[in-house]
Chain A
Amino acid sequence: MSPARVSAIALRILAQFLHDRRTLALMLVVPVLVMTIFGYVFRAQEDGTVAVVAANEDSPSSGRARLSEVMIGVLADSGKVSLSRAPRAEAEEAVRGGRAAVALVFGPGFTDELWTNRAAPLTVIVEGSNPGQAGPALGTVSQVLMENVPALLKSMMPKALSAIFARGAPLQLDIRRLYGSSGFTTLDFFAPLSIAFLAFFLVFLLTSVSFLRERTHGTMERLAASPVTRLEIVLGYMLGFGLFSLLQAVVLVLFTVYVLKVQFLGSVFAVFLVTALVALGAVNVGIFLSAFARNELQAVQFIPIVIIPQFLLSGLFWPLGDMPPWVRTIARCMPLTWANEAMVDIMVRGRSLGSAWLGLAVLAGFALLAGALASWSIRREVA
């Protein structure tokens, strides 16, 4: 082995890096960018408060203080919960609409049951479509209650009762999920999102590389010297890759539903429609960005810029409702965010295509905008 030859190769690689500024930037800047998003996502999740909406229907017999209010007060003062109040129906609506993570409904006999040494009825409502989201929220709420309530009640109630509390609050918990069942797993939540993500990722990758080849292998030049128009090229790519990704979606959905046995409520057609729209957007982004790459290596470099932010911010890890407004605005600009929402609406919540219309419209609009950019990027005058 010759150290001189090893160092010749090493030096050549370093010199090539220096001549490829883009790769250099990718190696140094993108990791920082990605870690920034990562840090933001996870830190904000830990520091964030849980949105809880309380519906208090507790009406104790005369003279008794409402013990439910004690519990609500504890939650409100904990600093870990942002508490609001609403009647039961509105509270449920707040959870359904994603404005609150948990709704607590204190039943009419809450105080009386506790006074008479029986389990008090407390209904906990969570959205349920994302098990990874409901679990931590419930954990925070019960932790706050368990840490503070027994001591507080002790000072208000006869000794005999406070002894019961010392063994834990005798609450009759009724946990209700608006969507999904108790058997609903993280996989059931992730599967719909994965369909959209995989469609976007793979179609983007395929298009950008195959379009780049079209440019570098000279076939683009040949097409440009033919009667084909730019629009025809873009539409042809959309149709070709659109059909291809539909085939992919068919395989993916069948596998997810019949082999992985993931919950599937809505229509298969709706899922294919969302997938197709996602793929059409991805085709056009691929064509557009391939214009800014000189070789396959540079095309692949768009992955961390195009894919990773969407992966982190499209609702997979971090519910949109918990994001700071400016991050949410960024997330709202990403097609995968809308695709994920539509997918969860259809597959988990069993909603119809009509109720997911906004997401579909945004995806279609994105595909059109990207199509215009793609078409623009195919310049007649190659030089």
Chain B
Amino acid sequence: MHVIEADSLSKRFGRVVALDGFQLSVRRGETFGLLGPNGSGKTTFIRIAVGLVIPTGGRIAVFGRELPAGRAAVVPRIGYMPQAQALYGDLTARGNVAFFARVFGISDRARRSARIDESLALVGLEGRRGSLARTLSGGMRQRLSLACALVHEPELLLLDEPTVGVDPELRRGFWEHFRRLNARGVTIVVSSHVMDEADRCDRLALVREGRVLATGTSGELKALSGAADLEGAFLAMAGAPGAAP
């Protein structure tokens, strides 16, 4: 069963076309990468999938429910990490996670406390739980932002460029977090413009100018384009739009 199914999705902002016949499906339990340059439509797609943006045309269903109509049923099952860190600087690390735990309706105090501690531990911030978010380093804030998206045990994680501005060592740490979540059955959709991250995904979509050029495993995409690496595959397919399978 597909967690996300997008069918000829389009979105215009005034005269700017952000998505144009965007075609995609994400399977349950996989780590799915959206790969493409800045401005290719990755963020718009993620925001549509979490109900923040209403598409101009086409269909999108998440957990089998059409958006935007099914938004209320879908949103509690999604964890969304926006591109901006989106934290309250004047709250502690724990305070930030606790706020989103309440917002997502974890009302039982013991369970909430356990969930907060678990989320902070998962991103390795248990030692900084009492620190104000604004005093944390950039990488720590990024991890805290992930913890906020995890606290309500979402079945689907939408991560918009989670590793942007993160050094290589931390980035590896992030992918370990993702793998751990994935092992628990969480479906992950992660956008990136860094090609070497793509190899870590189960499947990939190459996105350019609001369209999906191709989907498949990294091996399939390389084979399809005849390129040695993903960057080459991307360039080969970007040169021939419409050649997507």
Chain A interface (Cβ within 8 Å of chain B)? 217-219, 221-228, 380-383
For A217, give its contact among B53, B76, B87, B105 (CB under 8 Å): B87
Q: Are B75 and A382 in contact (CB under 8 A)?
A: no
Q: Contacts A225-B50, A382-B53 given: A218-B103 contact, CB under 8 Å?
A: no
Cβ–Cβ contact A226 & B84, under 8 A? no
**Contact present for A223 and B52 (CB under 8 Å):** no
Say which size band chain B's interface belongs to. Answer: 20 to 34
Say whether B148 faces chain A, with CB atoms less than 8 Å apart.
yes
Q: Report whether B84 and A218 are in contact in the complex, using a CB–CB cutoff of 8 Å.
A: yes
Within 8 A of A (CB), among B1-58: 13, 44, 47, 50-54
Using A221-B52, A222-B86 as known contacts, say yes or no to A227 and B80 having CB atoms under 8 A apart.
no
Q: Report Cα–Cα, A226/B51, bound state, in Å.
A: 9
Residue of A217, A219, A221, A227 near B75 (CB, 8 A) is A227
Known: A227-B72, A227-B103, A228-B103. A217 touches B52 (CB 8 A): no
Q: For B72, what are the chain A residues with a Cβ–Cβ distance below 8 Å?
A: 227
**B: which residues have CB within 8 A of A?**
13, 44, 47, 50-54, 72, 75-76, 78, 80, 82-89, 100, 103-105, 148
| B97 to A: closest C-beta gap in Å | 12
Q: Is the CB of A219 within 8 A of B52?
A: no
Q: Is the CB of B13 within 8 A of A383?
A: yes
Expressed in whole angstroms, the Cα–Cα distance for A97 and B13 within the complex equals 57
Q: Which residue of B lies closest to A381 (CB)?
A: B54
- Shortest distance from the beta carbon of A8 to any chain B beta carbon, whole Å: 30
Chain A residue nearest in CB terms to B83: A218
In order of increasing CB-CB distance, the 8 nearest A-B pairs are A218-B84, A218-B86, A225-B80, A225-B50, A222-B86, A219-B86, A226-B103, A218-B82
Closest CB in chain B relative to A91 CB, distance in Å: 58
Contact (Cβ within 8 A) B104 A224 = no
How far does the Cβ of A227 sit from chain B's closest Cβ, in whole Å? Answer: 5
Q: CB-CB < 8 A to A227: which residues of B?
A: 72, 75-76, 103-105
Q: Is there contact, CB below 8 Å, between A225 and B78?
A: yes
Query: How far, in whole Å, are A227 and B73 apart by their CA atoms in the complex?
Result: 9
For the complex formed, measure the closest distance between the CB of A203 and the CB atoms of chain B, giving whole angstroms.
18
Q: Which one, B52, B80, B82, B89, contacts A380 given CB within 8 A? A: B52
Among residues of A, the one whose C-beta sits closest to the C-beta of B84 is A218
Decide if the interface of chain B is mainly helix, strand, loop or mixed: loop
Q: What residues of A have a CB within 8 angstroms of the CB of B78 in the complex?
A: 225
A217-B86, A227-B104, A228-B103 as given contacts; A222 in contact with B80, CB under 8 Å? yes
A361 to chain B, nearest CB (A): 34
Residues of A within 8 A of B84 (CB): 217-218, 221
Nearest B residue to A236, CB-CB? B103
Which residues from A are CB-within-8-Å of B50? 225
- In the complex, the answer to whether A225 meets B52 with C-beta atoms within 8 Å is yes
- A224, B52: Cβ atoms under 8 Å? yes
In the complex, what distance in Å separates the CA atom of A227 from the CA atom of B72? 7
Chain A residues near B54: list those with CB within 8 A.
381
**Cα separation A225 to B72 with both chains bound (whole Å):** 10
Q: Which residue of A lies closest to B75 (CB)?
A: A227
A sample of 12 more A-B contacts (CB under 8 A), given A217-B89, A382-B52, is A218-B82, A218-B85, A219-B86, A221-B86, A225-B80, A226-B75, A227-B103, A380-B51, A381-B54, A382-B47, A383-B13, A383-B53
CA–CA, A178 to B45, complex, Å? 69
Complex CA gap A295/B175 in Å reads: 35
B120 to chain A, nearest CB (A): 17
A222-B47 in contact (CB<8A): no
Q: Which residue of B lies closest to A220 (CB)?
A: B86
A226-B104 contact in complex given A219-B86, A221-B52, C-beta closer than 8 Å: yes
Are A381 and B52 in contact, CB atoms less than 8 angstroms apart?
Answer: yes
In the bound complex, what is the Cα–Cα distance between A380 and B75 (angstroms)?
A: 13
19 A-B pairs with CB atoms under 8 Å apart are A217-B89, A218-B83, A219-B87, A219-B88, A222-B100, A224-B52, A225-B75, A225-B78, A227-B103, A227-B104, A227-B105, A228-B103, A380-B51, A381-B53, A382-B47, A382-B53, A383-B13, A383-B44, A383-B47
Q: Which residues of A contact B148 (CB under 8 A)?
A: 222
Known: A217-B87, A227-B103. A222 touches B82 (CB 8 A): yes
Given contacts A217-B87, A218-B85, contact A225 B51 (CB under 8 A): yes
Residues from chain B with a CB closer than 8 A to the CB of A221 are 52, 82, 84, 86
Which chain A residues lie closer than 8 Å to B75 at the CB level? 225-227
- A-side contacts of B87, CB under 8 Å: 217, 219
**Bound-state Cα–Cα, A347 to B10, Å:** 61
Contacts of B100 in A (CB 8 A): 222, 226
A257 shortest CB reach to chain B, Å = 33
Which of B82, B85, B89 has the most chain A CB atoms inside 10 A of its CB? B82
Q: Which residues of A contact B51 (CB under 8 A)?
A: 225, 380
The winner among B44, B52, B80 for most chain A CB atoms within 10 A is B52
Shortest Cβ gap from B194 to chain A (Å): 21
